[in-house]
A and B are shown apart, each in its own frame.
Chain A
Amino acid sequence: MALIRRMVNLFRRSRMDGEIEAELQSHIEMRIEENLAAGMSAKEARRDALVRFGNHVVMKERVTAADANLGLGNLWRNVRFALRQLRRSPGFALTAILTLALGIGPTVAIFSIIWATFLAPLPYPQSDRMVVAWTHYKGERYPTRADDFAEYAAQSHAFQRLDFLSWEGYHLTNPDHTQDAITGSAISPGFYTQNCEVQIALGRDFLPAEGLPGANHVVMLTNRLWTERYHSDPNILGKRLLVNDEPYTVVGVLQPIATDRSGTRFLVPVSHPAGVHSDDFGNVFGRLRPGATLAEAQAELSVIDRRIASTRDGGKDAALWSVSVEQFKNDWLDRKLERNLWLLLASVGLVLLIACANVANLLLARGGSRKQEFAVRAALGATRRQIFVQLLTESLALALAGGAIGVAMGWSIMKLSMSILPLEKMSAEAEVGLNMPVLLFAVAATLVAGVLFGCAPGMQASKLNLSDTLKQGARAVGGGGRTATQSILVVVEVAMALVLLSGAGMALHSFWNLRHIDIGITVDRVVVGGLRPRIQARRGQPQPLPPAEQAVVEQHQLLSKIRSVPGVADAALATGLPLQGYGTFPFAIAGQPVDKDHPPVADLQFVTPSYFNTLGIRLVRGRLLNESDTLNSPMAIMVNEAFLHRYMPNADPLTQHLMIAIPTAGNGSGPHAEPAQAVAYQVVGVFHDVANDEHLTGSIQPQMYVSLWQKGWPAFVFAVRTNVDPATVTDELRSTVAATAPSVQVDNLAMMRDLVNEQQINDRFGMVLFGGFAGVALLLAAVGIYGVMSFAVAQRTHEIGVRMALGARRSEVVMLMIRGGMRLALIGIAIGLAGAFGLGLLMHTTLYGVAATDFGSLAAVAALLFVAAMVACWLPARRSAAIDPMRALRNE
């Protein structure tokens, strides 16, 4: 309350002055009155009253001071004074402010991403009641089977609603299929209005009855699709659109919410009739009943899941399955990326600390030259506290200026980071921006920084020994305490910089490894795409395949048409592509006994013989599949090196036969297909391993290639090698396929190079940011050492002069100075190495091919820091050699 009174007083200054004056005056007059009553003369009475009262002006000032002491009047005065001080030394102020901005900017940028991604509440009402259920198998989380979801929904009570978002893709096309299909998803009717509790912008949500076959041909558009493709047509409701080649009626348009940033552009109702088995997988979203807890929901689903697990696959792996109920948060991120983000926040925190240490050092050095000023002020009556508060005010003024620039810098870094980290990698709800919480964080970081680096010099100055300082005159002699503080700050800075550099080193090492993974194909100028059957899945009913002979003829036609597109060098059809994951097809090696329950398995793909040339796959032994492998010739097969190592390490592969039971095309497939007979395939060649995991970093699985011409299976993908910029042929490719093969539609057309780069995105993100921040840290640490060394040289001018007068050689003096600085740097590096080991333990799981203790990169960054420190020491030390002993001594 006292503070408020003081603030009020501040605004009534003039009235206060009058009141104080009146009070003092009334005192003097009362005394005069009494004196008169005691018999003094009027003149004497006044004189006595004034003498007794003391110095009127001083008293009034002291009363005013008592009223305003510690008050805002002082603060404002301090601020003005601080600004004047900073203006007087613009070089210092600019360095300090920029250093701080370098510390605060990255912190704000990373925090804004972290806030939006992990901490911000979801943009839905009472979002704390929204949960997600995941199926876990062997500790990894997976989507949930639609059948299991049905059990959860029927038997649980903790949920107000339980909804299912299918992972099955739906495709919206224009009637002639010349444009890219737009993907959509299926979701439980009522999810948006009753689970997310958001309004539908136009029209309505799906009705419960629309979750049943027969009524399910309705579609809701996301706001984005409605705006971009239908130009916000207000009459869109009731229109018919082509989804999976069937007419769907538009019933609603969603609000511009999170969905707009997910890959889904439209929604159809999930329709799994009760009691009918479904192959569908998806996410389970729940809204807890009011009062129900997460633990209750978890317990309930676990009980239900135990029951399901005992029947899953005959209850074989029942113990390995579990279900988790988690708060619905923005946590859809790749776990590696998530971990990287937190590590990044920690590292920018370190950068900020380094910046603080640097500015503290600057202030300390400046404090040295301002000693005189403080001593004079103390002599004139400034209390320690006043000097401390004054210095703190100066620091805070610096911090605020640095913070303001830092926020601007942070905004650009954030934009940059987000451009390296495309939105599709982020959770849909994450709204990254400079919002209120981020700004509050920035202000807090700024204030903490200001106090952190403002305290040290403040303490130093307020502990000043008055008479000593005044006696010593202008020649500043290094206070032992200050030098020690500065040394500690430098050591800490170097240590932190090394930790950051090691992080960057490991990230770089990982990225290097990734870039040099041999994926077994030539990536550049290759276009790949899917061939999606247009009359696919009439919602669950598989289409019969054409007979093999017909399929082969059609595929030959399609391939030759694609090859005739200008710019195309070669083209291939296949059932799968590199980096798209692998299957496990059972086989047997002819002449070897087979364990019926655990037969050997390998990925099996059908490819046209041109596949090898198109993708640049290398032959290791034997021959490639070729045009003479046809429907009527003996079955030929190629295997990869991984296959060779695992299944026939010692045998000559070219003499082996594999027994494989592949259902013949056109013979029907799916659950009703006739069991196929195992046929012998002659191994004709071995090809160099091609990355066949979904991830670049996954281990390569045994793989077998059979010619498409020998089986007539439908080709699901195609690959094209061009001798021009591949982006220029895509339109032509699309229309060629549309014209030649009306039964399929081109899907997911992409450059192989982009697909590979996409896989490196996490590492690229980590590397660029870690590298950038570590660079800043290195710069700051070097500047810190440089500053302290320059200061030391300036301080020891006299001593150096004496040494040189006594015969010390210049090189000896330089070495002396460098030794002093390098000792600090080496201690810092040693401490930093310990920290780097710790960081390695935290980080290496997010990296590729980097051990927890990455000696190579540690040595490299330690050497880098050593060199930087050396340069930072050498520059000022060189100046010490230029000292003229005569002048140094005369300056005494």
Chain B
Amino acid sequence: MARNDLQGSLDLLVLKTLSQRGRLHGYGIVAHIQKASEELLQVEEGSIYPALHRMEQSGWIRAEWALTETGRKAKYYKLTTAGGKQLQAAEEGFEQLVKGVRAMLRYA
């Protein structure tokens, strides 16, 4: 259960990032997550790639090769319609989880 939730939250972070930033490569997604979470969320950077590829196979995101601003070849990811729906579902699920955990913690 724990592993699934971790994976679930990583998916959520990636999808959310792509929905906010549009087209982004893996490194950009990692950097964005770290920056946006004020460095609170540290992921092992490489672990994002299995997640990205899995989400690509599931049809939530689409990938294409392009050049970065510095002229480096990188794989850019983009949210698909299915991915948008998945993001919505994941966000709702996460809200539920947070609410539940909060309620637990407040329970005296």
Which residues does A use to contact B, with CB under 8 Å?
1-2, 5-6, 19-20, 22-24, 26-27, 29-31, 33-34, 52-56, 58-59, 62-63, 65-67, 69
Instruction: Check B75–A23 contact: CB distance below 8 A.
Output: yes
Bound-complex Cα distance A54 to B50 (A): 12
The residue from A6, A30, A58, A62 contacting B74, defined by CB atoms under 8 A apart: A30
Question: Taking the complex as formed, is B47 at the interface, i.e. its CB lies under 8 A from any CB of chain A?
Answer: yes
Known: A23-B49, A24-B49, A33-B70. A2 touches B25 (CB 8 A): no
Q: Which residue of B has the minimal Cβ distance to A3?
A: B57
Question: Taking the complex as formed, is B44 at the interface, i.e. its CB lies under 8 A from any CB of chain A?
Answer: yes
Instruction: Check B45–A26 contact: CB distance below 8 A.
Output: no
Main secondary structure of the interface of B (DSSP, over half): helix
Shortest CB–CB separation between residue B44 and chain A, in angstroms?
Answer: 4
Q: Which residue of B has the minimal Cβ distance to A52?
A: B45
Residues on the A chain within 8 Å of B72, using CB: 26, 29-30
Instruction: Check B57–A23 contact: CB distance below 8 A.
Output: no
- Most central of B31, B57, B59 by chain A CB within 10 Å: B57
Bound-complex Cα distance A67 to B55 (A): 9
Known: A27-B27, A53-B44, A59-B46. A67 touches B58 (CB 8 A): no
Bound-complex Cα distance A19 to B45 (A): 18
Q: Mark B39-57, 1 if CB is under 8 A from A, else 0.
A: 0000011110111011001
Known: A2-B57, A6-B57. A22 touches B50 (CB 8 A): no
Q: Please name 12 further chain A to chain B contacts, defined as beta carbons within 8 Å, in addition to the given A23-B49, A27-B30, A66-B51, sorted by A numbering.
A: A5-B57, A20-B49, A23-B26, A26-B73, A27-B46, A30-B27, A30-B68, A54-B45, A56-B46, A59-B46, A66-B50, A69-B57
Instruction: Check B74–A23 contact: CB distance below 8 A.
Output: yes
Shortest CB–CB separation between residue B30 and chain A, in angstroms?
Answer: 8
Residues on the B chain within 8 Å of A53, using CB: 44-46
Shortest CB–CB separation between residue B64 and chain A, in angstroms?
Answer: 12
Instruction: Check A31–B45 contact: CB distance below 8 A.
Output: yes
Bound-complex Cα distance A650 to B50 (A): 102
Instruction: Check B46–A24 contact: CB distance below 8 A.
Output: yes
Q: Mark B15-44, 1 if CB is under 8 A from A, else 0.
A: 000000000011100110000000000001
Bound-complex Cα distance A31 to B45 (A): 10
Instruction: Check B74–A59 contact: CB distance below 8 A.
Output: no
Bound-complex Cα distance A27 to B45 (A): 9
- Most central of A2, A62, A66 by chain B CB within 10 Å: A66
Instruction: Check A65–B50 contact: CB distance below 8 A.
Output: yes
Bound-complex Cα distance A56 to B54 (A): 17
Shortest CB–CB separation between residue A34 and chain B, in angstroms?
Answer: 8
Instruction: Check B45–A67 contact: CB distance below 8 A.
Output: no
The residue from B27, B30, B50, B53 contacting A26, defined by CB atoms under 8 A apart: B27
Residues on the B chain within 8 Å of A31, using CB: 27, 45
The residue from A27, A33, A56, A58 contacting B26, defined by CB atoms under 8 A apart: A27
Bound-complex Cα distance A23 to B30 (A): 14
Known: A1-B59, A2-B57, A23-B74. A63 touches B49 (CB 8 A): yes
Which residues does B use to contact A, with CB under 8 Å?
25-27, 30-31, 44-47, 49-51, 53-54, 57-59, 68, 70, 72-75
Shortest CB–CB separation between residue A660 and chain B, in angstroms?
Answer: 93
Shortest CB–CB separation between residue B78 and chain A, in angstroms?
Answer: 15
Q: Which residue of B has the minimal Cβ distance to A62?
A: B50
The 10 closest A-B pairs by CB, nearest first: A59-B46, A62-B50, A66-B53, A54-B44, A66-B54, A54-B46, A30-B27, A53-B46, A27-B27, A23-B75
Residues on the A chain within 8 Å of B46, using CB: 24, 27, 53-56, 58-59
Bound-complex Cα distance A23 to B51 (A): 14
Shortest CB–CB separation between residue A47 and chain B, in angstroms?
Answer: 14
Residues on the A chain within 8 Å of B59, using CB: 1-2
Bound-complex Cα distance A66 to B11 (A): 14
Q: Which residue of B has the minimal Cβ distance to A24?
A: B49
Bound-complex Cα distance A254 to B49 (A): 72
Instruction: Check A67–B27 contact: CB distance below 8 A.
Output: no
Between-chain CB contacts (< 8 Å), 22 pairs: A2-B59, A19-B75, A20-B53, A23-B49, A26-B25, A26-B72, A27-B26, A27-B49, A27-B74, A30-B25, A30-B27, A33-B70, A34-B31, A53-B45, A56-B46, A59-B49, A62-B49, A62-B50, A63-B49, A66-B51, A67-B57, A69-B57
Shortest CB–CB separation between residue B37 and chain A, in angstroms?
Answer: 15
Instruction: Check A67–B25 contact: CB distance below 8 A.
Output: no
- Most central of B26, B27, B54, B75 by chain A CB within 10 Å: B27
Bound-complex Cα distance A66 to B46 (A): 14
Residues on the B chain within 8 Å of A19, using CB: 75
Bound-complex Cα distance A26 to B76 (A): 11
Residues on the B chain within 8 Å of A67, using CB: 53, 57
Bound-complex Cα distance A573 to B107 (A): 111
Bound-complex Cα distance A20 to B75 (A): 9
Q: Which residue of A has the minimal Cβ distance to B49?
A: A63
Bound-complex Cα distance A739 to B30 (A): 110
Bound-complex Cα distance A66 to B55 (A): 9
Residues on the B chain within 8 Å of A24, using CB: 46, 49
Shortest CB–CB separation between residue A879 and chain B, in angstroms?
Answer: 47
Instruction: Check B45–A63 contact: CB distance below 8 A.
Output: no
- Most central of B44, B49, B72 by chain A CB within 10 Å: B49
Residues on the A chain within 8 Å of B75, using CB: 19, 22-23, 26
Instruction: Check A22–B27 contact: CB distance below 8 A.
Output: no
Bound-complex Cα distance A69 to B54 (A): 9
- Most central of B50, B58, B68 by chain A CB within 10 Å: B50
Q: Which residue of B has the minimal Cβ distance to A58?
A: B46
Shortest CB–CB separation between residue B82 and chain A, in angstroms?
Answer: 10
Shortest CB–CB separation between residue A57 and chain B, in angstroms?
Answer: 10
Bound-complex Cα distance A766 to B50 (A): 63
Known: A27-B26, A53-B45. A22 touches B73 (CB 8 A): yes
Bound-complex Cα distance A428 to B54 (A): 59
Q: Which residue of A has the minimal Cβ distance to B29?
A: A27
Shortest CB–CB separation between residue A38 and chain B, in angstroms?
Answer: 12
- Most central of B44, B45, B47, B58 by chain A CB within 10 Å: B45
Bound-complex Cα distance A47 to B26 (A): 19
Instruction: Check B49–A26 contact: CB distance below 8 A.
Output: no
- Most central of A1, A29, A30 by chain B CB within 10 Å: A30
Instruction: Check B54–A2 contact: CB distance below 8 A.
Output: no
Bound-complex Cα distance A700 to B93 (A): 84
Shortest CB–CB separation between residue A585 and chain B, in angstroms?
Answer: 86
Shortest CB–CB separation between residue B89 and chain A, in angstroms?
Answer: 18
Instruction: Check A63–B73 contact: CB distance below 8 A.
Output: no
Residues on the B chain within 8 Å of A69, using CB: 54, 57
The residue from B25, B57, B68 contacting A66, defined by CB atoms under 8 A apart: B57
Instruction: Check B27–A54 contact: CB distance below 8 A.
Output: no
- Most central of B46, B51, B59 by chain A CB within 10 Å: B46
Instruction: Check A63–B50 contact: CB distance below 8 A.
Output: yes
Residues on the B chain within 8 Å of A56, using CB: 46
Residues on the A chain within 8 Å of B49, using CB: 20, 23-24, 27, 59, 62-63
Bound-complex Cα distance A30 to B74 (A): 10
Bound-complex Cα distance A63 to B49 (A): 6
Residues on the B chain within 8 Å of A5, using CB: 57
Residues on the A chain within 8 Å of B57, using CB: 2, 5-6, 66-67, 69
Bound-complex Cα distance A31 to B46 (A): 11
Residues on the A chain within 8 Å of B54, using CB: 66, 69
Shortest CB–CB separation between residue A800 and chain B, in angstroms?
Answer: 43
Shortest CB–CB separation between residue B18 and chain A, in angstroms?
Answer: 16
Bound-complex Cα distance A31 to B72 (A): 12
Q: Which residue of B has the minimal Cβ distance to A67?
A: B53
Known: A2-B57, A33-B70. A59 touches B27 (CB 8 A): no
Bound-complex Cα distance A62 to B51 (A): 9
Residues on the A chain within 8 Å of B45, using CB: 27, 31, 52-54
